[in-house]
Amino acid sequence: MPNLSKNLKKDLKKVESLMRKNLSKEPVVKDLYGYIFDKSGKKVRAHISLISSYGMNKNQQNRVKLAAIIELLHTATLVHDDIIDNSDLRRGKTTVNVVWSNSHGVLIGDFIYSKAFMLMNEIGNFKVIDELSSATNKIAEGELMQLANKNNLDTSLQQLKKISYYKTGRLFEASAKSAAMLSGKSTSFIENISKAAKLIGIVFQVRDDLLDYGISKGNIGKPKMQDILEDKITYPLYFALKSSSKKDSSKILKKLKNKDFSLEEVADFVSSSSAFNKCNSLIQSYSNEISKCINKISNKEIRDEMLNLSESLKNRYE
């Protein structure tokens, strides 16, 4: 069997090429589509999909197509997220909703979604279609849950975990599960790699929340402290409120409720608490579970690749 790591690099280039292939000759669609896909993202979900389907002997094109579908679904959610959050920067570039308009963002997001579902139809595997449709539904549900949770300073850790799973973990999970099903893997393989991918997705989200609070010295491709500006209660603020003294927590809660705060004082409140340590402990707890799932996979190449991916994502700085 060819080396997995070398094959992944080749296959990811094929995924990139398929994603960039535009289905429309309309100038406005071509401009928007080209702008969005001009800068490549990390393609973590495609990576997971390709690892999970490794060893598939027939219909290699469908394997690449599935990885592209997953990245298209993810990209469409990002375009729509930028509108919801009034974001002006994504991957170091000005967002579509700023360069064009919110209407353009909504419609090109829908166009990308439709392209993904057209490719799904080409694969023609109903189990895959069912899994990805379910994941897309949960992502939207997670976004609505987060909207409902805005300014909810009484939010629970359980609620944050649920939002993280729906918004992020669910598509990671579907990336692994749909690819493993497409390639005819065993039930135990599907269960283990899907659970590992789900938890990797949640770790990805916790790390994202940490990066938003400025733990990275580098450029993360979007403004820092964006979550608090969007009234989002994320893991660092949650843990800071829970671990600080009643006096300090009450003071910052009052400022947050009255919108009478500076980003610097919120950042200082969070960084001076044990919030970052608690976030990292949560990440480590999930990482231990991820390792247990991955170590149940018999294929060493797949096991090593997933472990390496998990390790790199929990320590990422962008």
pLDDT, tens only, 120-144: 999 999 999 999 999 999 999 999 9
The mean pLDDT of 15-41, rounded to a whole number, is 87
First to last CA, the chain: 33
Flag whether pLDDT at 230 surpasses 90: no
Which of 137, 27, 132 has its CA nearest to residue 69?
132
Which of 141, 133, 176 has its CA nearest to residue 162?
141
**Other beta carbons less than 10 A from residue 27's beta carbon:** 8
Cα dihedral: 223, 229, 230, 234 (round 10): 90
Least confident residue range of 43-52, 163-172, 252-261, 268-277: 252-261
Flag whether pLDDT at 194 surpasses 80: yes
Cα distances from 150 to residues 8, 143, 146, 259, in angstroms, run: 39, 11, 6, 13
Flag whether pLDDT at 276 surpasses 80: yes
Range list of β-strands (E), 56-212: 89-90, 93-94
Could you give the 3-state DSSP secondary structure of residue 228?
helix
Tokens linked to 293: 């799932």
- Higher-pLDDT residue of 27 and 217 is 27
Say if strands 89-90 and 93-94 run parallel, antiparallel, or are unpaired: antiparallel
pLDDT at res. 2: 54
The pLDDT tens digits of the residues spanning 55-87 come to: 887 788 999 999 999 999 999 999 999 999 888
**Other beta carbons less than 10 A from residue 100's beta carbon:** 16
Cα dihedral: 298, 302, 308, 309 (round 10): -130
Flag whether pLDDT at 98 surpasses 80: yes
| 90 DSSP 8-state letter | E
pLDDT at res. 316: 85
Third-level CATH fold of 4-314: Farnesyl Diphosphate Synthase (1.10.600)
Flag whether pLDDT at 1 surpasses 80: no
Could you give the 3-state DSSP secondary structure of residue 240?
helix
Which of 56, 59, 75 has its CA nearest to residue 16?
75
CA 87 to chain centre: 16
Instruction: Using the CB atoms, write b or e for 53-75: b if 16+ within 10 Å.
Output: bbebeeeeebbbbbbbbbbbbbb
For tokens 């989200």, name the residue.
205
Q: What is the mean pLDDT of the chain?
A: 92
**Other beta carbons less than 10 A from residue 159's beta carbon:** 17
Flag whether pLDDT at 222 surpasses 70: no
Q: Percent of the chain at pLDDT above 70?
A: 96
The Cα angle at residue 69 between residues 65 and 75, in degrees rounded to 5 = 140
Distance between CA atoms of residues 241 and 248, nearest Å:
8
Contacts by residues 95-102 (CB-CB < 8 Å, ≥ 24 positions apart): 96/32, 96/35, 96/36, 99/35, 100/32
Q: 72 Cβ partners below 8 Å, 6+ apart?
A: 19, 112, 113, 115, 116, 119
- Higher-pLDDT residue of 221 and 258 is 258
pLDDT at res. 153: 85
What is the sign of the dihedral through the CA atoms of 59, 63, 66 and 71? negative
Flag whether pLDDT at 168 surpasses 60: yes
Going from N- to C-terminal start, the domains of the chain cover 4-314
Could you give the 3-state DSSP secondary structure of residue 94?
strand
Least confident residue range of 49-53, 120-124, 257-261: 257-261
